[in-house]
Amino acid sequence: MLTFMNNETENNADQQQTRVISLFSLVGMSMTFMMGFISLFNSNHELTITLFFASMIYCFAYISLKKYQTLKLSSYITIYSLYLLMFYLVFTGGVEQTGPLWIFIVAPVSVYILGLTSGLINLAFFLTVIAIIIFLPTDSIPHVTYSMEFKLRLILSFLTTTFLSALYEYLRMISFKSALELSKKYQQLALSDPLTKLANRRNALTILQQEKSRTSRNDDPLSILLCDLDHFKMVNDKYGHNCGDMVLTELAQVFTKSVRQQDCVARWGGEEFLFILPQTSAEQAFVIAEKIRINVQRHSVYCHEQDISLTISIGISQLTDNQTIDEMINNADRYLYQAKKNGRNQVYPQ
């Protein structure tokens, strides 16, 4: 159950990134399309074709993400098409040599889409290419020229933007990890018993419903054990509630060690415990129940310089066709009462 909820948290993070990539590709498509029209009216045909082509790429990334949920592919298309567009604008100067001004959007977008480490590596590559373009001699390859002051300030400004973007992304990651850990902590508190650290009643009911659904699909048996600590009130009255809590805690450890990995042990309430045994018939459940009963009988709790002997009574119930979870639990409760009526320290039915 905890794994399922943790996966839900991570899925929410993916959904958030999907929305951001979708929004960015939509904005990129709209902006490049609008700027392409402006360039068309200014008779800058080369820039117009480039901007319209970039708009089509962003449109493809947007549709691919919305229709096919291709988050990674759409992310790569978005970021690397942005890189290519920036290379072109710096190389040609764009409109009135204002093309380089657009490169400052690259840093925050890169670290968000690619992550901190990968984003910084890609930004190093991006800045290297930009530096090669602006410092490239014009006699080798004709391109727009910039003053030395502009080149240096452009690079320093981009490095500053990169640093601030990386710092923001790092703090965002720390904040997200803290929120995730806090979420796991609250999930643990919501799904487990604070004293015994076993699953609580609500968690047990959820697991039972899941196992019942799986049983319906696979036609596997499902059994439960309802267990009660014999004469627990006498333990509290004679040794005190601190010893009573110690008894329940150690009892939970004995239970956990006595069952299989696929089984679930839950504190049902007070001194009652519920065992969920997937793929287990009533006959197999009896063998497990006897093992648990004997292990408890052999165990004693040392408290206030005294050994406290323990015994338990157990009722067994196997899920039958068209039976509800409540009916199965009620059967186990009825059999538990019969085990106590027969003298305690036993499993019923035998």
Q: Are 227 and 313 in contact (CB under 8 A)?
A: yes
Give, in order, the Cα–Cα distances in Å from 267 to each of 69, 184, 276, 336: 42, 20, 11, 15
Phi-psi region of 115 (alpha: psi -120 to 50; beta: other; left: phi over 0): left
Q: Are 313 and 346 in contact (CB under 8 A)?
A: yes
φ and ψ at 226, to 5 degrees? -110, 120
Query: Between helices 116-135 and 71-92, what is the axis angle to 10°?
Result: 20
Residues 6+ apart with CB under 8 A from 337: 315
Task: Indicate if the alpha-carbon torsion angle 239, 241, 245, 246 is positive or negative.
Answer: negative
User: Beta strand 272-278 with 222-229: parallel, antiparallel or unpaired?
Assistant: antiparallel
Buried/exposed 317-339: b ≥16 CB within 10 Å, e otherwise: bbbeeeeeeeebbebbbebbeeb
Residues 6+ apart with CB under 8 A from 289: 225, 227, 275, 314, 316, 347
DSSP letters along 106-140, please? HHHHHHHHH-HHHHHHHHHHHHHHHHHHHHS-TTT
**Cβ atoms < 10 Å from Cβ of 197:** 13
Distance of CA 291 to the CA centre of its chain: 37
Please give the helix or strand (H or E) that residue 62 lies within, else none: helix 45-68
From the list 271, 272, 305, 327, the catalytic residue is 271
* β partners of residue 275: 225, 265
Is 271 among the residues known to form the active site? yes
**Residue 288: both structure tokens together:** 């497990």
Question: Active-site positions?
Answer: 271
